Amino acid sequence: MAKKRVRRWPFVVAIGGAVLAVVYLLRTPILIGAARFLTVSDDLRPADAIYLLNGEIESRPAGAAELYHRGLAPVIVFAREEQTQSMEAGLMANLTDVTRALLRRFGVPDSAIVIVEPVRGVTSTLEEAEAFRAYAERSRPRTVIVVTNSMHTRRARWTLRRALDDLQVDVLAYPVPHRHFDETNWWRREAGQISYILEYIKFAHYWLRS
């Protein structure tokens, strides 16, 4: 039996090497496919609100402003980020205020900017979904367009739909590209690797706790 096992090892090693070679040769389409799984993009139609998720301010506010100027919704809504000690000390700005300033620069009037302000602020996509639910209970939107980066759209749309399910709000996803990487090159940058791997971990966490 021992001799038979020894004879099998070259075969096993050869098969393993062949598999690794195939994976290596196909690494680019595999990595692109893994990234594209996280991205969802819905056919847009006029909505009651654009919900801008906190995060990458170099692209998300511009994407929301673009939709507003296209006439797809009358207001841009976003939730106030949690106020940290550094922010209270004036050492750094709350991203909510930076976002509002950017929207103004992009030509969005104050009358079209709605900031939802939970007591403690928001720190996650789940809390942002809960914040929008509170807004939806008051304003009763029928359709909302959620704006976030491409890699975040699947989890964000899923989370918003679950939070708003009984209110019968239709949630549409609008992906905006990250400033420095996208689905075709994310693995070439450290920031892209961290972002996509972390997004898969977060997606699994949200799915498992549901």
User: 210 pLDDT band (50/70/90 cuts)?
Assistant: confident
pLDDT of 12 reads 47
Percent of the chain's residues with pLDDT above 70 = 87
Most confident stretch, 79-88, 106-115, 173-182? 106-115
Q: What is the dihedral of CA 181, 184, 188, 191, to 10 degrees?
A: 30
Mean pLDDT within 93-122: 94
Residue 140 has pLDDT above 80, yes or no: yes
CA distance 87 to 165: 35
CA distance 158 to 156: 5
Q: Looking at per-residue confidence, does 15 or 177 come out higher?
A: 177
Beta-carbon-side half-sphere exposure of residue 24 (alpha carbons within 13 Å): 6
User: 207 pLDDT band (50/70/90 cuts)?
Assistant: confident
CA distance 199 to 149: 11
CA distance 187 to 34: 11
pLDDT of 26 reads 45
In eight-state DSSP terms, residue 124 is: S
pLDDT of 148 reads 97
Lowest mean pLDDT among 47-56, 131-140, 190-199: 190-199
pLDDT of 65 reads 98
pLDDT of 10 reads 55
Fold type of domain 41-178+189-209: Rossmann fold (3.40.50)
pLDDT of 24 reads 43
Percent of the chain's residues with pLDDT above 90 = 62
Q: What is the dihedral of CA 186, 192, 198, 202, to 10 degrees?
A: -70
Residue 2 has pLDDT above 60, yes or no: no
